[in-house]
Structure 1
Amino acid sequence: MKKVNNFLLWFIAGTSLFILLFFGITISPTQAKDKPKPISSRLTLKASNIVTYELYKNRIRVWGNDGDGEGYSNIWTAEEVNYRSIAIGDIDGDGQEEIVGLGVCERVYGKGKNREKKYEIFINVYKEGQQGIWMTTYSDNENIIIEEKDTSYYEIVLNDIDGDNLNEIILMTRTYLTIYKYDNDTGILKKIASRQLSKDIPFDKDVGSFGLKSVTAGDIDRDGQKEIIAAGDLISTENKGCIFICNLPDSDTELNLKNTIYVEYNFSKNSLRAGDLDRDGYMELCASVYNMSGSYPNYNYASYLLIWDYVQEAFACEELELEDDEPYLPWNPLDVGNLDNDPTRDEIALVVGHSKQLLIYNWETSGFSNLYTIDLNPLTTIVDIAIGDSNSDGNNDINIAGNIYETIKRRRSSWIFYLAVYDVYEEQLWEQVDSDGEDVFDIAVDNKI
């Protein structure tokens, strides 16, 4: 009898402890998931650097070139970090570069039927020569953005928007466009302007399905001030995209919305860039877009390259030569930059994900010219592309990141990543397949010429 009573006492005590722990967790106002950890060695950079982020292994890696153009090595790694986009550049004006990561932290509010998930957006910055995270917007209520839904579409861009020789941080989430700046007086990042662009969609649109896909910056209206341009989709409608033209406010904290342009296309991730494409001394917008036809689940897609001159209010569109009735959602990231040593004009480098090809275009008012078509590793799933001088030879290169999916009998499939640097004339300069890599998600390059 005594043994039974002891068992009952232990059972009751254990059950009570479980209930207390359970309710102690669920009634807490918020729960954080995947909070970043400042785990890294001292940030070391070369004269030219390629930065990649691996989603499943939750790590940033920097690949540096010694300047001889012969090879690259992994010179720095940050482990146990959770980001959706990365960038590299000088944000504090000291001549040294920082790595900036855009992260997402899942928060759970309430309990039971009132349990609700929201997504907290934060920024972490790593400074050259220092160890761990230099500064962060995490737990800073004035700077944090809260999204109602999570998506895979986030982007972070560094650009000197206000002309003070300091790069601002342009952050794009599902519905927000936000600008941060390093404050030299306080030593923190400060949110200087923001706008929830989903509120600017006309009421006859399905705002709940709206999502931004890409962001860029440049003076596209020839007024001497850089604009911040974002592209998004009205997902529930067929072939409806929108371009938002914004600039910094004079005194308020909300971005000025100068114009909203609707187009009969959908945008791809990391697909909107600005550059001087026609030698007129002014920037045009360039985007990778697609159309869809058919009905769920049997959609077909057609991919296009879109050029838009804001001042001339003119569009130019080129259909990419893909297989007819492509059954997969297009994934065609691009970048714009000078590739042929002609400083008066930028070229377009676009990766066609399904055909594993790199297409290089230039554009005149008379139309497009396909300069090169380069076949990539056929086993690679392309993720992102960035133009920059990654081998310190004074010329821009095309840097591509992707993954190779290996199916091994009786073993789990594994991701390894592929990283390549191309020069317009020399073609492939370097290729690496890294068995220690896993699902590279984003790529950034400094030293863009």
Structure 2
Amino acid sequence: MADVKLPFGWRDGEYIHISHVDRGLKCNCQCPGCKSDLVAKKGEDNAHHFAHHAKTDCTYKPETALHDYAKRLIARQLAFTTPFLYVVIQDDNYRFWVDETVPGKEHAILSGAFEQGFKEIVPDVQFETDAGLLFVEVAVTHFVDREKRSKLRRYGIPTVEIDLSKIALDTPLEEIDKAVLSKMSLRKWAFHPDEFDLQTRLRKQLQEKIAQYEYENWRDNPYDPDLDDDDRHEDDDGDGWDLLIQAADDYGGEMTHEWLQSIPKNRRIETYKTLNHLAKLTYHCFLLDRRPETLPLLFNRRDAVGPPFLCPSIVWRTGVFFRFVVANTEKREFRLGDVLQWCRTRYDTFSYGTGFDDPDSRYTSQIDIDDEVTEFLLELEREGYLESDGFIAKRRVFNPAIKYLPNWSRFKR
């Protein structure tokens, strides 16, 4: 094996830099890996370095020497400054973003040790600080991976990673020490206990920002400019449109949700059926985490023959979308029969042949619930929210197309 060029040797139980020893064998140093004698090469032409005095198969790498030196140096410190934490959440569709910075802080070190095990984790450096336990990882060739990050998250230990991968091995010792001890640009959080909560809060802020933007723009221009009034009259469910306007003005989905949660599970479906159309719609919107006015127009499209249930189309369609697309965690695939059974327990249907006093009414016994629900599922498939095996419409097996969720930018009026 070719001889390696080491920036550090081993003497008297400590790492020592090439700049702090005499030339040749007078350095009195050994290899940190194989413990054989080193010679300090400090000529005029090449960068100063250690080399094995005798030919050897030692596999100790100079990067390992830098890593070992750095963690020992850190462990001897009396104070340690953590880096700032910067979290940004952005939406690619609207180019909106929210961010927040948590400043770093200098901590007094009560005790420090390197490579001291903590449960199933062996951090490079372990500090007991005035704020509790703190880990430090030194990255030269290997960084904190997903598995280790998962363990850190499990135990909630704040961990800072110092990136020394760009430090040249022939860098003077003073610059190495500066990079290790005080160059904040090299420090980042491998795990910050508050990061998840901060991301969650910012994500909610962004959703509110987007919802407000969509709400304001919808209120200013609620109609699609590409559709004239005649087209809109044919395509839109008029009752559903009026209900949508009312829902936008009187949004009470969260209160309805809390009320339903307070009712025993075996009575919730029966209680849900007693809700009026407005309460059902706003309840669905709460579950979908969307304002009513940001729902897709296809949810309020007029049925071809007539509404299959005794409610505006937007009511049963939002319910089906939440249950079988967004919240479908119990059973991935489903069929038309599953949707029909779910709907029939929650929405009243027409009594065919009765209740139609107007002989000219378009609602006749010819309404086919299967066809209307099937068409909605197929439209969701065309829009990319569902995938199916592509067989005969009523016999298809559907699956949520999770890759499209939560892509709510598709939900524009």
TM-score of Structure 1 vs Structure 2, range by shorter chain: under 0.3
TM-score (norm 1): 0.22
1 or 2, which has the higher helix percentage?
A: 2
Larger Rg: 2
TM-score norm. by structure 2 comes to: 0.24
More strand by share: 1
Larger RCO (alpha carbons 8 Å, 6+ apart): 1
